[in-house]
Protein backbone atom coordinates (compact mmCIF):
# COMPACT_ATOMS: atom_id res chain seq x y z
CA UNK A 1 0.00 0.00 0.00
CA UNK A 2 1.37 3.45 -0.92
CA UNK A 3 1.49 6.59 1.19
CA UNK A 4 -2.16 7.45 0.69
CA UNK A 5 -4.87 4.80 0.69
CA UNK A 6 -6.28 4.74 -2.85
CA UNK A 7 -9.79 3.30 -2.45
CA UNK A 8 -10.49 2.97 -6.20
CA UNK A 9 -7.26 1.08 -6.78
CA UNK A 10 -8.01 -1.07 -3.75
CA UNK A 11 -11.31 -2.13 -5.35
CA UNK A 12 -9.39 -3.28 -8.44
CA UNK A 13 -7.11 -5.31 -6.16
CA UNK A 14 -10.09 -6.91 -4.40
CA UNK A 15 -11.52 -7.83 -7.81
CA UNK A 16 -8.25 -9.59 -8.70
CA UNK A 17 -8.19 -11.53 -5.43
CA UNK A 18 -11.84 -12.44 -5.98
CA UNK A 19 -11.01 -13.98 -9.35
CA UNK A 20 -8.13 -15.93 -7.79
CA UNK A 21 -10.59 -17.31 -5.25
CA UNK A 22 -12.94 -18.58 -7.95
CA UNK A 23 -15.46 -15.74 -8.12
CA UNK A 24 -16.68 -14.73 -11.56
CA UNK A 25 -17.12 -11.06 -10.70
CA UNK A 26 -16.76 -8.72 -7.75
CA UNK A 27 -18.47 -5.36 -7.24
CA UNK A 28 -19.00 -2.83 -4.48
CA UNK A 29 -22.40 -1.52 -3.33
CA UNK A 30 -23.31 1.28 -0.97
CA UNK A 31 -25.54 0.69 2.04
CA UNK A 32 -28.56 2.77 1.07
CA UNK A 33 -31.21 0.38 -0.24
CA UNK A 34 -34.19 2.54 0.75
CA UNK A 35 -35.63 2.56 -2.77
CA UNK A 36 -36.03 -1.25 -2.49
CA UNK A 37 -38.03 -1.00 0.74
CA UNK A 38 -41.50 -0.37 -0.80
CA UNK A 39 -41.14 -3.43 -3.06
CA UNK A 40 -40.04 -5.62 -0.17
CA UNK A 41 -42.89 -4.37 2.02
CA UNK A 42 -45.48 -4.86 -0.74
CA UNK A 43 -44.23 -8.40 -1.31
CA UNK A 44 -44.45 -9.23 2.40
CA UNK A 45 -47.83 -7.50 2.81
CA UNK A 46 -49.25 -9.62 -0.01
CA UNK A 47 -48.06 -12.74 1.86
CA UNK A 48 -45.82 -13.82 -1.05
CA UNK A 49 -43.32 -15.30 1.40
CA UNK A 50 -45.79 -18.04 2.40
CA UNK A 51 -44.46 -19.97 5.39
CA UNK A 52 -40.93 -18.47 5.18
CA UNK A 53 -41.54 -16.62 8.43
CA UNK A 54 -37.94 -15.44 8.70
CA UNK A 55 -38.56 -13.17 5.71
CA UNK A 56 -41.24 -11.25 7.58
CA UNK A 57 -39.50 -11.42 10.95
CA UNK A 58 -36.48 -9.52 9.71
CA UNK A 59 -38.64 -6.98 7.88
CA UNK A 60 -36.76 -3.88 6.81
CA UNK A 61 -33.50 -5.06 8.35
CA UNK A 62 -33.10 -6.92 5.06
CA UNK A 63 -32.93 -3.63 3.19
CA UNK A 64 -30.75 -1.93 5.80
CA UNK A 65 -27.24 -3.38 5.97
CA UNK A 66 -26.28 -0.96 8.74
CA UNK A 67 -29.01 -2.34 11.01
CA UNK A 68 -27.86 -5.88 10.32
CA UNK A 69 -24.17 -5.14 10.93
CA UNK A 70 -23.66 -1.78 12.67
CA UNK A 71 -20.74 0.18 11.28
CA UNK A 72 -21.07 -1.19 7.72
CA UNK A 73 -19.93 1.40 5.17
CA UNK A 74 -19.84 -0.66 2.00
CA UNK A 75 -20.66 -4.12 0.71
CA UNK A 76 -18.36 -6.17 -1.50
CA UNK A 77 -20.66 -8.17 -3.80
CA UNK A 78 -19.71 -11.40 -5.54
CA UNK A 79 -21.14 -13.85 -8.02
CA UNK A 80 -19.98 -17.37 -8.76
CA UNK A 81 -21.00 -19.43 -11.82
CA UNK A 82 -22.35 -22.84 -10.90
CA UNK A 83 -22.95 -24.96 -14.00
CA UNK A 84 -21.02 -28.21 -13.48
CA UNK A 85 -17.71 -28.24 -15.40
CA UNK A 86 -18.86 -31.05 -17.70
CA UNK A 87 -22.08 -29.27 -18.76
CA UNK A 88 -22.56 -29.97 -22.50
CA UNK A 89 -23.14 -27.14 -25.00
CA UNK A 90 -26.79 -28.20 -25.53
CA UNK A 91 -27.52 -28.31 -21.80
CA UNK A 92 -30.75 -26.29 -22.09
CA UNK A 93 -32.17 -28.82 -24.56
CA UNK A 94 -30.97 -31.72 -22.38
CA UNK A 95 -32.49 -30.27 -19.22
CA UNK A 96 -35.77 -29.57 -21.02
CA UNK A 97 -35.78 -33.16 -22.30
CA UNK A 98 -35.51 -34.49 -18.72
CA UNK A 99 -38.80 -32.79 -17.93
CA UNK A 100 -40.40 -34.80 -20.75
CA UNK A 101 -39.30 -38.10 -19.17
CA UNK A 102 -41.85 -38.56 -16.37
CA UNK A 103 -40.02 -41.49 -14.75
CA UNK A 104 -36.79 -39.50 -14.19
CA UNK A 105 -36.06 -37.57 -10.98
CA UNK A 106 -35.05 -34.00 -11.84
CA UNK A 107 -32.94 -32.13 -9.30
CA UNK A 108 -32.41 -28.48 -10.19
CA UNK A 109 -29.01 -27.62 -11.62
CA UNK A 110 -27.68 -25.65 -8.69
CA UNK A 111 -28.23 -28.51 -6.25
CA UNK A 112 -26.36 -31.36 -7.92
CA UNK A 113 -22.96 -30.67 -6.39
CA UNK A 114 -21.59 -29.26 -3.14
CA UNK A 115 -23.71 -26.90 -1.06
CA UNK A 116 -23.06 -23.38 -2.35
CA UNK A 117 -23.51 -21.91 1.12
CA UNK A 118 -20.34 -23.71 2.20
CA UNK A 119 -18.39 -22.99 -0.99
CA UNK A 120 -19.15 -19.28 -1.16
CA UNK A 121 -18.93 -18.63 2.54
CA UNK A 122 -15.46 -20.13 2.88
CA UNK A 123 -14.17 -18.18 -0.10
CA UNK A 124 -15.81 -14.93 0.99
CA UNK A 125 -14.20 -15.42 4.39
CA UNK A 126 -10.81 -15.83 2.69
CA UNK A 127 -11.40 -12.73 0.59
CA UNK A 128 -12.28 -10.78 3.75
CA UNK A 129 -9.08 -11.99 5.40
CA UNK A 130 -7.08 -10.94 2.36
CA UNK A 131 -8.61 -7.47 2.45
CA UNK A 132 -7.82 -7.28 6.16
CA UNK A 133 -4.21 -8.37 5.64
CA UNK A 134 -3.69 -5.76 2.93
CA UNK A 135 -4.82 -3.02 5.30
CA UNK A 136 -2.61 -3.96 8.25
CA UNK A 137 -0.20 -1.11 7.59
CA UNK A 138 -2.98 1.49 7.21
CA UNK A 139 -4.50 0.31 10.50
CA UNK A 140 -1.11 0.28 12.27
CA UNK A 141 -0.51 3.86 11.13
CA UNK A 142 -3.92 4.87 12.49
CA UNK A 143 -5.16 5.92 9.06
CA UNK A 144 -7.98 3.34 9.14
CA UNK A 145 -9.83 1.65 12.01
CA UNK A 146 -9.37 -2.13 12.42
CA UNK A 147 -11.26 -3.85 9.61
CA UNK A 148 -14.49 -5.70 10.38
CA UNK A 149 -15.68 -8.05 7.64
CA UNK A 150 -18.72 -10.36 7.60
CA UNK A 151 -19.50 -12.73 4.75
CA UNK A 152 -23.05 -13.64 3.75
CA UNK A 153 -24.56 -15.91 1.17
CA UNK A 154 -28.22 -16.64 1.46
CA UNK A 155 -27.35 -17.09 5.12
CA UNK A 156 -28.88 -13.98 6.62
CA UNK A 157 -31.55 -11.42 5.91
CA UNK A 158 -29.76 -9.62 3.08
CA UNK A 159 -31.35 -8.39 -0.18
CA UNK A 160 -28.72 -10.06 -2.32
CA UNK A 161 -30.12 -9.49 -5.80
CA UNK A 162 -30.64 -5.83 -5.00
CA UNK A 163 -27.06 -5.33 -3.76
CA UNK A 164 -25.64 -7.24 -6.72
CA UNK A 165 -27.63 -5.34 -9.34
CA UNK A 166 -26.72 -1.97 -7.87
CA UNK A 167 -23.06 -2.86 -8.02
CA UNK A 168 -23.02 -3.97 -11.67
CA UNK A 169 -22.99 -7.77 -11.32
CA UNK A 170 -25.89 -7.88 -13.75
CA UNK A 171 -29.49 -6.72 -14.09
CA UNK A 172 -32.61 -8.09 -12.48
CA UNK A 173 -34.54 -10.21 -14.97
CA UNK A 174 -38.32 -10.35 -15.06
CA UNK A 175 -38.07 -13.68 -13.20
CA UNK A 176 -36.43 -11.56 -10.38
CA UNK A 177 -33.06 -13.33 -10.62
CA UNK A 178 -29.87 -11.53 -11.57
CA UNK A 179 -28.68 -11.87 -15.17
CA UNK A 180 -25.42 -11.00 -16.88
CA UNK A 181 -24.85 -10.52 -20.61
CA UNK A 182 -21.88 -12.89 -20.56
CA UNK A 183 -23.11 -15.38 -17.98
CA UNK A 184 -26.91 -15.68 -18.05
CA UNK A 185 -28.32 -16.28 -14.57
CA UNK A 186 -26.68 -19.56 -13.49
CA UNK A 187 -24.60 -18.10 -10.68
CA UNK A 188 -24.86 -17.68 -6.92
CA UNK A 189 -24.54 -14.42 -5.06
CA UNK A 190 -22.71 -13.55 -1.88
CA UNK A 191 -21.32 -10.50 -0.17
CA UNK A 192 -18.98 -9.13 2.51
CA UNK A 193 -20.10 -6.31 4.76
CA UNK A 194 -17.18 -3.96 5.50
CA UNK A 195 -16.65 -1.06 7.88
CA UNK A 196 -14.55 0.51 5.12
CA UNK A 197 -15.82 3.14 2.70
CA UNK A 198 -15.14 2.00 -0.87
CA UNK A 199 -16.38 3.57 -4.10
CA UNK A 200 -19.42 1.74 -5.50
CA UNK A 201 -19.05 0.03 -8.88
CA UNK A 202 -21.68 1.26 -11.39
CA UNK A 203 -24.86 -0.71 -12.18
CA UNK A 204 -25.19 -2.61 -15.48
CA UNK A 205 -27.85 -1.80 -18.07
CA UNK A 206 -30.92 -4.08 -18.33
CA UNK A 207 -31.56 -6.24 -21.40
CA UNK A 208 -34.89 -8.01 -20.96
CA UNK A 209 -36.54 -5.68 -23.46
CA UNK A 210 -39.94 -6.94 -24.62
CA UNK A 211 -39.13 -10.56 -23.76
CA UNK A 212 -41.54 -12.41 -21.45
CA UNK A 213 -40.29 -15.97 -22.02
CA UNK A 214 -39.80 -16.72 -18.32
CA UNK A 215 -43.31 -15.61 -17.44
CA UNK A 216 -44.83 -17.88 -20.10
CA UNK A 217 -42.56 -20.82 -19.21
CA UNK A 218 -43.39 -20.94 -15.49
CA UNK A 219 -45.53 -24.07 -14.97
CA UNK A 220 -47.41 -22.56 -12.03
CA UNK A 221 -47.72 -18.89 -13.00
CA UNK A 222 -45.48 -17.94 -10.07
CA UNK A 223 -44.07 -14.90 -11.87
CA UNK A 224 -47.31 -13.07 -11.25
CA UNK A 225 -46.02 -9.89 -12.91
CA UNK A 226 -42.64 -8.88 -14.29
CA UNK A 227 -40.12 -8.65 -11.41
CA UNK A 228 -42.55 -10.23 -8.98
CA UNK A 229 -42.50 -13.87 -7.86
CA UNK A 230 -45.16 -15.17 -5.50
CA UNK A 231 -43.29 -17.88 -3.60
CA UNK A 232 -46.61 -19.59 -2.79
CA UNK A 233 -46.90 -20.55 -6.44
CA UNK A 234 -43.25 -21.46 -7.01
CA UNK A 235 -42.18 -25.11 -7.32
CA UNK A 236 -38.85 -24.22 -5.75
CA UNK A 237 -40.70 -23.04 -2.65
CA UNK A 238 -42.94 -26.09 -2.36
CA UNK A 239 -40.19 -28.64 -2.93
CA UNK A 240 -37.44 -26.96 -0.87
CA UNK A 241 -38.68 -24.37 1.61
CA UNK A 242 -42.07 -25.67 2.63
CA UNK A 243 -42.20 -28.23 5.42
CA UNK A 244 -45.77 -29.58 5.40
CA UNK A 245 -48.02 -31.16 2.81
CA UNK A 246 -47.86 -29.79 -0.73
CA UNK A 247 -51.33 -28.39 -1.50
CA UNK A 248 -53.28 -30.42 -4.06
CA UNK A 249 -53.56 -27.66 -6.71
CA UNK A 250 -49.76 -27.62 -7.22
CA UNK A 251 -49.00 -31.32 -7.26
CA UNK A 252 -49.66 -32.03 -10.94
CA UNK A 253 -47.69 -28.97 -12.09
CA UNK A 254 -44.62 -30.15 -10.16
CA UNK A 255 -44.21 -32.93 -12.73
CA UNK A 256 -40.94 -34.77 -12.09
CA UNK A 257 -39.12 -31.86 -10.37
CA UNK A 258 -38.07 -33.37 -7.03
CA UNK A 259 -35.91 -30.50 -5.77
CA UNK A 260 -36.19 -26.92 -7.06
CA UNK A 261 -37.09 -25.76 -10.54
CA UNK A 262 -35.13 -24.24 -13.42
CA UNK A 263 -37.87 -23.61 -15.98
CA UNK A 264 -37.75 -19.80 -15.89
CA UNK A 265 -34.00 -19.95 -16.43
CA UNK A 266 -34.16 -22.61 -19.14
CA UNK A 267 -36.52 -20.33 -21.06
CA UNK A 268 -34.27 -17.28 -20.81
CA UNK A 269 -32.40 -16.51 -24.03
CA UNK A 270 -29.46 -15.08 -22.07
CA UNK A 271 -28.65 -18.48 -20.65
CA UNK A 272 -27.03 -19.48 -23.91
CA UNK A 273 -24.14 -17.50 -22.40
CA UNK A 274 -24.28 -19.34 -19.05
CA UNK A 275 -20.83 -20.28 -17.74
CA UNK A 276 -19.41 -23.47 -16.33
CA UNK A 277 -17.99 -23.25 -12.83
CA UNK A 278 -14.24 -22.91 -12.47
CA UNK A 279 -14.42 -25.20 -9.42
CA UNK A 280 -14.91 -28.95 -9.09
CA UNK A 281 -17.24 -28.30 -6.13
CA UNK A 282 -20.32 -27.99 -8.33
CA UNK A 283 -19.65 -31.12 -10.39
CA UNK A 284 -22.84 -33.17 -10.45
CA UNK A 285 -22.88 -36.21 -8.17
CA UNK A 286 -23.85 -39.40 -9.94
CA UNK A 287 -26.81 -40.39 -7.68
CA UNK A 288 -28.51 -37.04 -8.37
CA UNK A 289 -28.71 -37.07 -12.17
CA UNK A 290 -30.23 -39.48 -14.69
CA UNK A 291 -31.89 -41.38 -11.84
CA UNK A 292 -35.22 -43.16 -11.97
CA UNK A 293 -37.87 -41.94 -9.52
CA UNK A 294 -38.41 -45.49 -8.28
CA UNK A 295 -34.71 -45.76 -7.39
CA UNK A 296 -34.43 -42.50 -5.43
CA UNK A 297 -37.74 -43.33 -3.71
CA UNK A 298 -36.16 -46.56 -2.51
CA UNK A 299 -33.37 -44.77 -0.62
CA UNK A 300 -33.60 -45.37 3.12
CA UNK A 301 -32.51 -42.54 5.40
CA UNK A 302 -28.81 -43.53 5.67
CA UNK A 303 -28.64 -43.80 1.85
CA UNK A 304 -30.31 -40.40 1.46
CA UNK A 305 -27.83 -38.87 3.90
CA UNK A 306 -24.88 -40.49 2.14
CA UNK A 307 -25.90 -39.34 -1.34
CA UNK A 308 -26.63 -35.79 -0.22
CA UNK A 309 -23.67 -35.33 2.14
CA UNK A 310 -22.23 -31.81 1.82
CA UNK A 311 -24.94 -30.89 -0.70
CA UNK A 312 -27.94 -28.56 -0.34
CA UNK A 313 -30.59 -31.30 -0.61
CA UNK A 314 -29.59 -32.75 2.75
CA UNK A 315 -31.21 -29.74 4.42
CA UNK A 316 -34.74 -30.86 3.52
CA UNK A 317 -34.27 -34.27 5.14
CA UNK A 318 -35.41 -37.73 4.11
CA UNK A 319 -39.12 -37.20 4.89
CA UNK A 320 -39.54 -34.17 2.60
CA UNK A 321 -37.46 -35.94 -0.04
CA UNK A 322 -39.92 -38.85 -0.02
CA UNK A 323 -42.84 -36.37 -0.09
CA UNK A 324 -41.44 -34.74 -3.23
CA UNK A 325 -40.61 -38.00 -4.97
CA UNK A 326 -44.07 -39.40 -4.13
CA UNK A 327 -45.65 -36.43 -5.92
CA UNK A 328 -43.43 -37.00 -8.95
CA UNK A 329 -44.26 -40.73 -8.95
CA UNK A 330 -47.97 -39.87 -8.83
CA UNK A 331 -47.47 -37.63 -11.84
CA UNK A 332 -45.53 -40.34 -13.69
CA UNK A 333 -48.29 -42.83 -12.93
CA UNK A 334 -50.90 -40.45 -14.28
CA UNK A 335 -49.31 -40.44 -17.73
CA UNK A 336 -47.82 -43.94 -17.83
CA UNK A 337 -49.01 -46.51 -20.35
CA UNK A 338 -50.78 -49.47 -18.64
CA UNK A 339 -47.75 -51.73 -19.16
CA UNK A 340 -45.44 -49.22 -17.39
CA UNK A 341 -47.56 -48.66 -14.30
CA UNK A 342 -46.64 -51.71 -12.26
CA UNK A 343 -43.10 -50.74 -11.10
CA UNK A 344 -44.32 -47.26 -10.13
CA UNK A 345 -47.20 -48.73 -8.12
CA UNK A 346 -44.95 -51.28 -6.43
CA UNK A 347 -42.49 -48.55 -5.37
CA UNK A 348 -45.29 -46.43 -3.94
CA UNK A 349 -47.04 -49.32 -2.20
CA UNK A 350 -43.80 -50.18 -0.41
CA UNK A 351 -44.10 -46.81 1.41
CA UNK A 352 -47.79 -47.03 2.30
CA UNK A 353 -46.91 -47.89 5.90
CA UNK A 354 -44.13 -45.30 6.25
CA UNK A 355 -44.08 -43.91 9.83
CA UNK A 356 -44.54 -40.34 8.59
CA UNK A 357 -48.13 -39.14 8.04
CA UNK A 358 -46.76 -36.64 5.51
CA UNK A 359 -45.17 -39.37 3.40
CA UNK A 360 -48.19 -41.70 3.69
CA UNK A 361 -50.63 -39.02 2.57
CA UNK A 362 -48.57 -38.14 -0.52
CA UNK A 363 -48.18 -41.83 -1.37
CA UNK A 364 -51.94 -42.35 -1.10
CA UNK A 365 -52.53 -39.36 -3.36
CA UNK A 366 -50.03 -40.71 -5.86
CA UNK A 367 -51.75 -44.11 -5.98
CA UNK A 368 -55.24 -42.70 -6.43
CA UNK A 369 -56.80 -43.59 -9.74
CA UNK A 370 -57.34 -40.55 -11.95
CA UNK A 371 -60.93 -39.27 -11.95
Q: Which of residues 241-270 bind ligand B12 (CB under 6 A)?
A: 241, 260-262, 264
Q: Is residue 174 close enough to count as binding ligand SF4 by CB under 6 A?
A: yes
Has 154 been annotated as catalytic?
Answer: yes
Return the bridge partners of 80, or none. Answer: 188
**176 scored as a contact of ligand B12 (CB under 6 A):** yes
* Residue of 229, 246, 325, 326 that binds ligand B12 (CB under 6 A): 229
Among positions 95, 160, 263, 281, the unique one binding ligand B12 when judged by CB under 6 A: 160
Q: Are strands 291-292 and 104-107 parallel, antiparallel or unpaired?
A: antiparallel
For 10-40, the DSSP string reads HHHHHHHHHHHTT-SEEEEE-S--GGGHHHH
The yes or no reply on residue 111 touching ligand SF4 (CB under 6 A) is: no
CB of 26 to ligand B12, least distance (A): 15
- As to burial, measured by CB atoms within 10 angstroms (0-12 exposed, 13-18 middle, 19+ buried), residue 148 is middle
Query: Of 200 and 214, which has the nearer Cβ to ligand SF4?
Result: 214
The answer to whether residue 307 forms part of the interface with ligand SF4 (CB under 6 A) is no
Please report, for residues 176, 247, 265, the alpha-carbon distance to residue 161 in angstroms, rounded to integers and kept in the order given.
8, 29, 15
Give 152-155 contacts, CB < 8 A, sequence gap 24+: 152/124, 152/190, 152/191, 152/192, 152/193, 153/116, 153/117, 153/120, 153/121, 153/124, 153/188, 153/189, 153/190, 153/191, 154/116, 154/117, 154/188, 154/189, 154/190, 155/117, 155/121
Q: Does 189 bind ligand B12 (CB under 6 A)?
A: yes
Interaction pattern, residues 224-263, with ligand SF4; x per rule: CB under 6 A: -----x----xxx------------------------x-x
Q: Is 115 in the site for ligand B12 (CB under 6 A)?
A: no
Restricting to residues 52-71, which ones interact with ligand B12 according to CB under 6 A?
Answer: 52
Task: Determine the residue with CB nearest ligand B12.
Answer: 39
Residue 176 interacts, among ligand B12, ligand SF4, none and using kind-specific CB cut-offs from 5 to 8 Å, with ligand B12
Smallest gap from Cβ 310 to ligand B12, in A, equals: 17
Q: Nearest Cα to 292, choosing from 260, 325, 254, 255?
A: 325
Residues 184 and 268: beta-carbon distance below 8 Å: yes
334 touching ligand B12, by CB under 6 A: no
Calpha distance 18→284 (Å, rounded): 24
Site for ligand B12 in 77-106 (CB under 6 A): none
Asked whether position 312 contacts ligand B12 by CB under 6 A, the answer is no
Q: Which of 154, 262, 300, 353 is catalytic?
A: 154
DSSP per-residue string spanning 92-106: HHHHHHHTT-TTEEE
Query: Do residues 367 and 327 lie in contact, with contact meaning Cβ atoms separated by under 8 Å?
Result: no
Stretch that binds ligand SF4, among 22-30, 266-274, 320-328, 330-338 (CB under 6 A): 266-274
| Catalytic center residues | 154
Q: Which residues bind ligand SF4 (CB under 6 A)?
A: 173-175, 179, 208, 211-214, 218-220, 222-223, 229, 234-236, 261, 263-264, 267-270
Amino acid sequence: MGQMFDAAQFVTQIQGWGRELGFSQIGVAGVDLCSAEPGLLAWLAAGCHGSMDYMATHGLKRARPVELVPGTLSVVTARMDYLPRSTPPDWVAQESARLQRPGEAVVSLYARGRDYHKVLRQRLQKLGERIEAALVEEVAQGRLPPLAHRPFTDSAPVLEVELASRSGLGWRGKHTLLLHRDAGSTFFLGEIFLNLALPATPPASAHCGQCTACLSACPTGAIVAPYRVDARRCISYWTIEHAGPIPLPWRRAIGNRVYGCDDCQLACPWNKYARRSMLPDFDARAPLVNQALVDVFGWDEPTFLRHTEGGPIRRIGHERWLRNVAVALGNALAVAAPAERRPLQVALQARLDHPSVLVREHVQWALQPLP
